[in-house]
Structure 1
């Protein structure tokens, strides 16, 4: 597996080694020992989540507050998405900056998003299955978020705003400057 740290400290792009032949392919999508060694973290995942979405669905930008903050390891099992991680660590030199990575069933890339980041994705293909591991359990009272089209963040979701489908709940998320951090 190849691991590349992004300009956001602690945020990594992982690319597995794929073994293919006439029968198909095989790859190891996760190995706790290798993951921690390659990312130089002590992350232990405790919860796996999966979502199915159609083209234009945007989920995010979400995060958990305080002791319920979550690190995530995300990937796409079917389809194609733009995955976004926003650094919301107040003392970080990259506070307010983000990465946007195309994840797909074809490229099999994964992104490790440490605690202290808001996260979201938009579906570019007709449908997508999105899978992610979390290092902390979800807590409804600690959920928070930032509106996906915040003018200060300037995220390029690669779809016209008219094609983006956001939940009613996510439409009410605050701008970055007003978010609970």
Structure 2
């Protein structure tokens, strides 16, 4: 697992075994998580989404504790998967990093609690699956507008983003911070330490 620039994110590129019949790969191994993160990924929920080209989902995050860590992969089509550091006080607060996840390389992205997550479908009929450390709790789930100019996420220029009503109504980063909605960096770091995570 390769760490990205935002603390608490890792990219995993599996070894794909292929022949004329097709392919096989391990996209999740508990021992890999325990070796790299110092703790296992608690599996509370598994999600799947199918999106038309241009559908943009996020930026979503949950209150910490307990937050909701995610382990994301794209099993059909392709996405630009984006992590946003929403932890107030973080050295990388407000920054983002994007990686392409697709059906060819089968890469997976781990996103720790307290970080924002969004993705845009680059192809029609794109299928994304992800493991979650906590069940969805609408009272603790929040969002920041993915087209907020202060975030300045560079979405593909040839795509017209299609957002849900909920994501269209999400506050800007400045508004979310001013309202006290965003996670606190030190609280997140303390939570990671209590969980035994090695970030």
Interval of TM-score (by shorter of Structure 1 and Structure 2): over 0.9
Look up the match of 1:136: 134
Q: Deviations over 1:57-85 (max 9, x none)?
A: 00001111133410100000101010001
Look up the match of 1:173: 170
Shift of 1:35: 2.1
Distance 1:160 1:16 in 2: 29
Aligned ranges for residues 89-128 of structure 1 at < 5 Å?
Answer: 89-128=87-126
3-state SS of 2:65 partner:
helix
1:82 aligns with 2:87: no
3-state SS of 1:122 partner:
strand
Distance 1:21 1:160, change over 3 A: closer
3-state SS of 1:67 partner:
coil
Residues matched between the structures, number: 178
Q: Which runs of 4+ in 1 moved over 2 A?
A: 38-43
Look up the match of 1:73: 71
Q: Deviations over 1:141-162 (max 9, x none)?
A: 111100011111110111456x
3-state SS of 1:132 partner:
strand
Shift of 1:111: 0.4
Shift of 1:5: 0.3
Structure holding more strand per residue: 1
- TM-score normalised by L of structure 1: 0.93
- TM-score normalised by L of structure 2: 0.85
3-state SS of 2:139 partner:
helix
Task: Name the Cα RMSD after superposition.
Answer: 1.3
Distance 2:96 2:84 in 1: 4
Q: 5+ unaligned residues in a row in structure 2: which ranges?
A: 183-199
